Structure 1
């Protein structure tokens, strides 16, 4: 299993709109092949920062399957205009439980 971690910096003053858009967009990612689950968490110290955690069966389920899908184009249209700068995305594998 692969954990995708995306650091999201939402433009100040747009957090409510971002959260509403994400509530819709999360159904897109949840429908993808290899999707396991996700969480969106907001930073306590800086409320325009979020972390998106998505668990995938394989790296390719995210990098090829999701990013190459029509659903990703809809995801991008719904969410990417909220970010400044563009998110950093990294992938992790579990070493110890």
Structure 2
């Protein structure tokens, strides 16, 4: 089965990108150890250096929405990262259509 892709566009409060990137480096092990996690990437926007795309591949939707979000690791993730976002990001999930 092809993994599904979670995409979150993250707008970081002005002046906090360095702190966000450091916190994200701390948070990575929290997500990468979860059941159903495949891989992730964090990319910074060239046109707006306060905007990032978080791409996470999961085996199933529930691995993200139930497993990760219902875990103690997610509470740590929230504490490390959520205060950087303005506004809070929309998270969407995508499946492959064409190879």
TM-score range normalised by the length of the shorter chain: over 0.9
Q: Give the number of aligned pairs.
A: 97
Q: Residues of 1 paired with 2:13 and 2:33: CA distance?
A: 27
Structure 1, unpaired ranges of 5+: none
Report deviation, 1:79.
Answer: 0.0
Other structure's SS at 1:95 match: coil
Residue 17 of structure 1 and its aligned partner are, at CA, apart by: 0.1
Deviations 1:11-59 (CA, angstroms, capped at 9, x unpaired): 0100000000000101100000000000000000100000000000000
Greater than 6 Å deviation, 4+ residue runs: none
* Counterpart pick for 1:48 among 47, 50, 53: 50
Unaligned runs of 5+ in 2: none
CA distance in 1, matches of 2:66, 2:53: 22
TM-score w.r.t. the length of structure 2 is 0.97
CA RMSD of aligned residues (A): 0.4
